[in-house]
């Protein structure tokens, strides 16, 4: 390749948000660069903005008005004097027009050439390019409006996958097993593709129901060097989004690794790749097929960093500055095993629906060494506007089994409070025998079906409730304005005990307690009685003896929500109010919008009898379609919304009367 002069980066603008913005800035700072953040309105106080040396408001709420607005990002570069742009992943990271505009503005683009991006951006043309480079591909066909989709599907053979041509991240993706579902799936995929990528082009492809998603990290420089940094396996996916990724793959052989590595490097060479990129494959046995090239840093890049010792962001920045890699394929090797889990604010019990909210408490576990790439801190908001990922947690251990065990434990003992997360689901997944044995295929979640939430024993629950009442009474005593130094709940006669009610999942639990003379709390939960001696309480952490068993736990609260993180993991409960003002009683029987969004379609009419689980409404929010289903058998009382209507979080969509009432 041509002579490349070194052009050092002094001020790096990160055209992204959240954890990846923080992660990129961390390396940039280490390399002596000043950092510039850009931010949407909702991110004004986000950690990545606070940590940047300077930041520019993009004045807008949605992705479209902010991180996707090329003009605004370029203006931010000009205003701050940034001499390089790192796009992170998502947003404009694979937008060739943006890359071009950056380069034309005389700013260093941290990424592959706009041509390489463009070549890979359209999945169909990418496939053709790969076929030329002799990389195996799956049969596929683009679907133009008016095309005979059924014929194409028949030719390819069911099951088929409908994919957005411009897409990624599972958006605009549908699996179709039967011809009768084809039209609906295509329409849905087009809608999502249009709203996510501004391009409703979709294509149809052979779907491999049981396979592995294995990708190869490639790294090239502008001097013509190109290496691969081995593979990552990302088969554990929900809603076509990866949630657990690892390196190396548990099924990799030296032979297959060499073949896939060669294919990936060939793919990279075919497009003159000069940055960090990823070639994705589906693998079945010793066969593999090219899926796509991601011309950016991947979310899951840390597992590669762990096993190779490379800092991929540093490599990207060096390459962008014009430095050669300075090593060859033979210099790279794998050490140990790394697994990453993606913690999301989402509800695994409700189809993994995003569950935005405020992170009341965020405290990474210190139980064992782990890397936390998080975009949040205590007090951060997870907004409906953006991806609800809280953090990536990565562990690196000598063996895969140890890595899985440690990651599960680290996740379990991390303090997260204030919102619903997939944490328990991740922990359960990591502990399934199938995962531990490496039986990880893309249908893992459907096939193994790890529990969406974990079993909580009554002992664990009772200990958590005890920790809460001990903590809460200590907090109240500490905040008392009068008689502050008197013992808690002091009595000189026989009075009823202190009483408090909690909701745990769908169960209401009453707890009563009374401090005795000796400082022991007699706690009664349902029919169980405990003698509790507090040692530490009122500081967010309790150390208590429950009938002689030491219980240590973090006790976090946000309004009436409590979260106890102890030896058995986290247990969340809601404290019920002592008094409920009349009229404040909860509305019963209304199906409410779980988040702000747009009503796509309603499927029932007033007076219809509905069965539990029946589809009522499709709501589009956070770029995804959410199905609102009937929670009970009943009769539709009223439809409160129409298709196309914007709805607020908590807005009543449909009222249902219980069948037997």
Site of interaction with another protein (CB under 8 A): 473, 476-477, 480-483, 485-496, 498-500, 517, 578-579, 581-582
The angle at the Cα of 450, spanning 447 to 451, to the nearest 5 degrees, equals 135
84 with 36: CB under 8 angstroms?
A: no
Label residue 493 exposed, middle or buried (CB < 10 Å: 0-12, 13-18, 19+). exposed
Label residue 180 exposed, middle or buried (CB < 10 Å: 0-12, 13-18, 19+). exposed
d(CA 64, CA 303): 31
Q: How far is the CB of 573 from another protein (least distance, A)?
A: 17
174 is catalytic: no
Query: Among residues 131 and 516, whose Cβ is nearest to another protein?
Result: 516
Q: How far is the CB of 584 from another protein (least distance, A)?
A: 11
CB neighbours of 447 closer than 8 A, spacing ≥ 6?
210, 434, 441
Q: How far is the CB of 636 from another protein (least distance, A)?
A: 31
Q: Give start and end residues of each alpha helix (H) in 372-432.
A: 400-412, 423-431
Instruction: Name the 3-class secondary structure at 651.
Output: coil
Q: At what angle do helices 123-132 and 254-270 cross, to 10 degrees?
A: 110
Q: How far is the CB of 552 from another protein (least distance, A)?
A: 22
Q: How far is the CB of 481 from another protein (least distance, A)?
A: 5
Query: Among residues 101 and 511, whose Cβ is nearest to another protein?
Result: 511
d(CA 443, CA 446): 5
193 with 233: CB under 8 angstroms?
A: no
Structure tokens at 408: 């599960």
Choose, from 190, 232, 257, 296, the residue flagged as catalytic: 296
d(CA 488, CA 474): 8
Query: Among residues 517 and 587, whose Cβ is nearest to another protein?
Result: 517
Query: Among residues 436 and 475, whose Cβ is nearest to another protein?
Result: 475
Q: How far is the CB of 488 from another protein (least distance, A)?
A: 5
CB neighbours of 146 closer than 8 A, spacing ≥ 6?
none
Query: Among residues 483 and 605, whose Cβ is nearest to another protein?
Result: 483
Query: Among residues 35 and 473, whose Cβ is nearest to another protein?
Result: 473
Query: Among residues 259 and 533, whose Cβ is nearest to another protein?
Result: 533
The angle at the Cα of 257, spanning 254 to 258, to the nearest 5 degrees, equals 85
276 with 297: CB under 8 angstroms?
A: yes
Q: How far is the CB of 562 from another protein (least distance, A)?
A: 15
d(CA 199, CA 219): 29
Query: Among residues 500 and 571, whose Cβ is nearest to another protein?
Result: 500
d(CA 423, CA 417): 11
Which residue(s) pair with 85 in the sheet? 13, 109
Label residue 359 exposed, middle or buried (CB < 10 Å: 0-12, 13-18, 19+). buried
Listing DSSP states for 125-156 in one string gives HHHHHHHHTT--B--EEEE-TT--HHHHHHHH
Q: How far is the CB of 522 from another protein (least distance, A)?
A: 14
Q: Where in the sequence numbering do the catalytic residues fall?
A: 296
């Amino acid at each position: 390749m041509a002579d490349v002069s070194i052009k050092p980066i002094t001020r790096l603008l990160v055209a992204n948000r959240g954890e990846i913005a923080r992660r990129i800035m961390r390396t940039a700072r280490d390399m002596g660069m000043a950092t510039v953040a850009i931010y949407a309105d909702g991110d004004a106080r986000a950690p990545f903005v606070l940590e940047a040396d300077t930041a520019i408001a993009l004045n807008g709420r949605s992705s479209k008005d902010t991180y996707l607005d090329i003009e605004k990002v370029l203006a931010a570069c000009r205003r701050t004097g940034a001499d390089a742009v790192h796009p992170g992943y998502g947003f404009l990271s694979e937008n060739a027009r943006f890359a071009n505009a950056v380069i034309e503005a005389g700013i260093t683009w941290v990424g592959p050439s706009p041509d390489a991006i463009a070549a890979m951006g359209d999945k169909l043309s990418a496939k053709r390019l790969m076929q030329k480079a002799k990389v195996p591909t799956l049969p596929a066909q683009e679907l133009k409006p008016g095309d005979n989709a059924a014929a194409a599907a028949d030719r390819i053979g069911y099951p088929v996958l409908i994919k957005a041509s411009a897409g990624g991240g599972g958006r605009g993706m549908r699996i179709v097993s039967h011809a009768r579902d084809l039209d609906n799936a295509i329409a849905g995929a087009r809608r999502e593709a249009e709203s996510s990528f501004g391009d409703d082009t979709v294509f149809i492809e052979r779907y491999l129901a049981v396979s592995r998603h294995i990708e190869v990290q490639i790294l090239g420089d502008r001097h013509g060097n190109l290496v691969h940094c081995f593979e990552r396996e990302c088969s554990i996916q929900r809603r076509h989004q990866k949630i657990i990724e690892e390196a190396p793959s548990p099924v990799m052989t030296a032979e297959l690794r060499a073949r896939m590595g060669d294919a990936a490097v060939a793919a990279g060479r075919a497009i003159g790749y000069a940055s960090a990129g990823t070639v994705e494959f589906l693998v079945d046995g010793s066969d593999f097929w090219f899926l796509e090239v991601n011309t950016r840093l991947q979310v899951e890049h840390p597992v590669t960093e762990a096993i190779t010792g490379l800092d991929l962001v540093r490599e990207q920045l060096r390459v962008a500055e014009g430095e050669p890699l300075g090593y060859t394929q033979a210099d790279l090797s794998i050490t140990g095993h790394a697994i990453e889990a993606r913690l999301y604010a989402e509800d695994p019990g409700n189809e993994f629906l995003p569950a935005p909210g405020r992170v009341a408490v965020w405290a990474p576990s210190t139980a064992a060494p782990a890397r936390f790439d998080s975009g949040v801190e205590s007090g951060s908001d997870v907004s409906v506007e953006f991806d609800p990922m809280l953090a990536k947690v990565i562990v690196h251990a000598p063996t895969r089994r140890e890595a899985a065990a440690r990651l599960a434990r680290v996740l379990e003992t991390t303090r997260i409070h204030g919102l619903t997360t997939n944490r328990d689901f991740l922990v359960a997944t990591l502990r399934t025998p199938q995962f531990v044995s490496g039986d990880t295929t893309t249908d893992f979640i459907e096939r193994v079906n790890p529990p969406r939430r974990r079993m909580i024993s009554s002992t664990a629950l009772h200990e958590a409730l005890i920790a809460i009442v001990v903590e809460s009474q200590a907090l109240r005593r500490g905040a008392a304005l009068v008689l502050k130094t008197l013992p808690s709940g002091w009595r000189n006669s026989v009075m009823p005990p202190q009483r408090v009610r909690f909701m745990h999942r769908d169960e209401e639990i009453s707890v009563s307690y009374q401090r005795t003379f000796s400082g022991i709390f007699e706690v009664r939960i349902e029919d169980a009685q405990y003698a509790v001696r507090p040692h530490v309480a009122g500081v967010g952490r309790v150390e208590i003896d429950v009938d002689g068993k030491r219980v240590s736990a973090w006790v976090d609260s946000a309004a009436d929500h409590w979260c106890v993180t102890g030896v058995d993991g986290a247990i969340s409960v809601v404290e019920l109010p002592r008094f409920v003002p009349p009229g404040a009683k909860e509305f019963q029987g209304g199906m409410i919008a779980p988040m702000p969004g747009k009503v796509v379609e309603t499927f029932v009419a007033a007076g219809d009898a509905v069965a539990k689980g029946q589809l009522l409404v499709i709501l589009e929010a956070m770029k995804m379609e959410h199905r609102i289903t009937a929670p009970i058998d009943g009769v539709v009382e009223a439809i409160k919304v129409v298709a196309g209507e914007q709805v607020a979080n908590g807005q009543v969509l449909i009222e249902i009367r219980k069948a037997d009432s």
